[in-house]
Amino acid sequence: MGPGIVQRPPIPGSEQWVWPEGTHRVLRQVFSRRLIGSPRELDLALKNLRPVGEFDAVEDGVELLLRHRKGRVVIAGDFDADGATGAALLRLCLQDFGFESVDVFIPDRFELGYGLTPAAVERIGRGSPSLILTVDNGITSITGTAAARDCGIDVLITDHHLPGPELPCANAIVNPNLDGSSFGGKSLAGVGVAFYLMAALGRRLDAAGHAARYLDLVAIGTMADMVKLDRSNRILIDHGLARIRAGRCRPGVRALCQVAKVPYAAVTASHLAYQIAPRLNAAGRLDDMRVGVRCLVSESGDEALALAETLNELNLERRAIGARMDAEALEHLNAEILVDSQAAPPVVCLFQENWHEGLVGLVASRIKERFHRPAFAFAPNDSGTLKGSGRSVRGFHLRDALVDVDAANPGLIGRFGGHAMAAGLTLRRDGFADFRTAMESLGTERLGPEHFAERIFTDGELRTGELSLEVATLLRDAGPWGQGFPEPLFEGTFRLIRQRVVGDAHLKMTLAAEGDASRLDAIAFNRQSGEWKPGDRLRLAYRLDVNEYYVTPSLQLIVEHVRPTGS
């Protein structure tokens, strides 16, 4: 059974909203179905950003930083794009603000693992720092923080992840998600938290507004981390995009756009999420994220381009390894699950000896998307355990599930953490079969057909004449779109004129809207020809896209779902 297409309902009371004069009907249709309180929230002027003064926790962070202005500060980052952009922003700002010694430490995920571990502190401590400043990590680093304090090193934690039952013994913690925090920016990414800290420090040092020079980095990290795009995050992204388009961005950002073949003058939030961020993430997944940070902080265009080319090569390698792992995962499912039992289990758990531990999260994500079930993927690591990553569907809280499996099977799970939709863990080397049995049993208890039914939410139908380049451009420019503020998706019935497979994987179509003789270009990515033929009527869920491939931009429909309705 295919996915169900459901229209997003308008926000109650939105029919009474007063729209700015000249607001296009399609924009009213779309925005009235987004989680906003009124059209005023669509004003993304920087003055509408949540004030730095409301984030009271940053003041303790500023005081601690000022005490170490003459000391040696080591920024302890994370090995993803959010952590890399946050580390780069902190280093650039602290150097601009006159801090005498600032270094960046990114742990090797394969050797030291995630966060401020005791092993990471031992490595950092060799350089005799006076302060460790974390970004995008640290809120669960209980033992590592204690190890640093025992060595006489002060610790300032900046993070956005949810805290556990115990807080680390840091000198100061800047995290909008601490219990009791009244700051409304709960959805900030790690780089967003770092930005607020630097904005507060700049204000104290009579350099207010200086941190805004690095909003290009904030935009990339925020889009990469798939956090909810509330108004503050959309403001940060919008102004970061404006800096990139105007060429007022880091040389490394221009270089990443160049190797991704994205004209920086026309970059969109989608480009940041799906073209730029993966090239940064590839370094952390396969090699060393220090390459990504060096690219972002470089002042030399030539050096930045060379580093961006290295990141691009790593991304190509990542894609090749990921494609092999995806194919092996599907082969396993087809052979052992779908054929034997005619149905996937409630929770899919996969393990292969030859898989790469840095890419198991991508495999879990793709399996979850394909079968619309929670999925875990595991690979062996050098420490003699299995490294796993999980992705979930609504209604099945992954971290809670891991807590229950861990309680019922002492010693099976090593470290674990995460939230409702994503989690990471380690297992003892011989524990995969036991984990799969326990997780499938839990899934049988808690999941039913309603959880496995994929639903595609649309913004309704467009009227005759609205399938146009003008409307596609309006929608593109009305973003940024992303998590919690989804890109507009429409539905409608079209007649198929012709179709062909391009690039060995994508279905290119020519369509005609009902009651309209004009022809429309459309493409369905990663989709071969289906059980339809020219002349058939198709019910589509689609996005309007500005196709920049040719010299003259044109309208293109990006098809997300196809369902034949007859001739």
Percent of the chain with pLDDT over 70: 97
What is the per-residue pLDDT for 341? 42
d(CA 311, CA 529): 34
Q: What tokens were used for 329?
A: 């995962």
Per-residue pLDDT for 340 more than 70? Answer: no
Q: What is the pLDDT of residues 144-174, one digit of tens each?
A: 999 999 999 999 999 998 888 899 999 999 9
The correct CATH number of 48-313 out of 3.20.20.70, 1.20.1430.10, 3.40.630.30, 3.90.1640.30 is 3.90.1640.30
d(CA 77, CA 116): 9
Which of the pair, 91 or 525, is modelled with greater confidence? 91
d(CA 367, CA 357): 16
d(CA 549, CA 406): 51
Domain limits, the chain:
48-313, 344-452, 456-566
Cβ atoms of 247 and 274 closer than 8 Å: no
Cβ atoms of 264 and 245 closer than 8 Å: yes
Whole-model pTM?
A: 0.90
What average pLDDT does the structure give for the chain?
91
d(CA 415, CA 165): 15
d(CA 41, CA 46): 12
- Least confident range from 238-247, 259-268, 283-292, 301-310: namely 283-292
d(CA 430, CA 418): 23
d(CA 25, CA 549): 28
Nearest C-alpha neighbor of 457 from the set 394, 368, 511 = 394
Per-residue three-class SS string for 95-155 = HHCCCCEEEEECCCCCCCCCCCCHHHHHHHHCCCCCEEEECCCCCCCHHHHHHHHHCCCEE
Neighbour count for residue 278 (Cβ, 10 Å)? 20
d(CA 159, CA 67): 21
Cβ atoms of 364 and 377 closer than 8 Å: yes
Give the burial string for 503-538 (b: 16+ CB within 10 Å, else e).
eeeebebbbebeeeeeebebbbeebeeeebeeebeb
Q: What is the pLDDT of residues 402-436, one digit of tens each?
A: 999 999 999 999 888 777 788 889 999 999 999 99
Provide CATH code, domain 456-566: 2.40.50.460
d(CA 512, CA 493): 9
pLDDT band at 476 (very low <50, low <70, confident <90, very high): very high
Classify strands 490-502 and 554-566 as parallel, antiparallel or unpaired: unpaired
Helices (H), 260-300: 269-271, 277-286, 290-297
Provide CATH code, domain 344-452: 3.10.310.30
Nearest C-alpha neighbor of 63 from the set 238, 199, 241, 204 = 204
